[in-house]
Structure 1
Amino acid sequence: MPKRYLERLLTIDRLIKIKSTGSPKQLAERLGISESRLYEYLSFMKESGAPIVYSKERSSYYYQAAGGFDFSFKMERQNN
């Protein structure tokens, strides 16, 4: 997975958590991608279990349940 792809996923996740994505068009522009590419990211996130919903009233995506993505390497402790 390219670094830029991961960075965008984390940005989308952060904005969804704070309910500050704006409309799909605004979010795509903010990320520097097309709306169709944005929908690919959202689809990937939903397929990964994210309960993403869009609110017209809030003009933002949000999670229906608390949570978020964590894309980081975790070192395992070595048993000596």
Structure 2
Amino acid sequence: MSAQYFQRFQYLDELIRKKATGPPKQLARRFGVSERTVYEYINVLRDLGAEISYCNTSESYYYKQRGEFCFQFRKIK
């Protein structure tokens, strides 16, 4: 897996936290992937414990509870 793979999830996490994903088709274009791949990305985040829903009114995914993912290595002192 490349760093770009994790950067996509980091960016997706940011968009979900901001409730700014747009509809799945638009999100797929933004990432340059298929709509099916977007659903797979969302399911990966769900498998990691995130409760994610979709709002038809705002046309965005959102977290049911506040939280965020950290996809970077952090040194422990």
TM-score bracket, shorter-length normalisation: over 0.9
CA RMSD of aligned residues (A): 0.9
The answer for the alignment partner of 2:12 in structure 1 is 12
Which has more radius of gyration? 1
- Helix, strand or coil: the match of 1:25? helix
Q: Give CA-to-partner distance per residue, 1:4-28, whole Å, 9 cap, x none.
A: 1101101110000000100000011
The answer for the alignment partner of 1:37 in structure 2 is 37
Give ranges in structure 1 of 5+ residues lacking alignment: none
Q: Structure 1 stretches (4+) deviating beyond 2 angstroms?
A: none
The answer for the alignment partner of 2:62 in structure 1 is 62
- Helix, strand or coil: the match of 2:33? coil
Does 1:51 pair with 2:61? no
Does 1:76 pair with 2:66? no
Give ranges in structure 2 of 5+ residues lacking alignment: none
- Helix, strand or coil: the match of 2:53? strand
Name the % identity. Answer: 43
Return the TM-score normalized by structure 1. 0.91
The answer for the alignment partner of 1:27 in structure 2 is 27
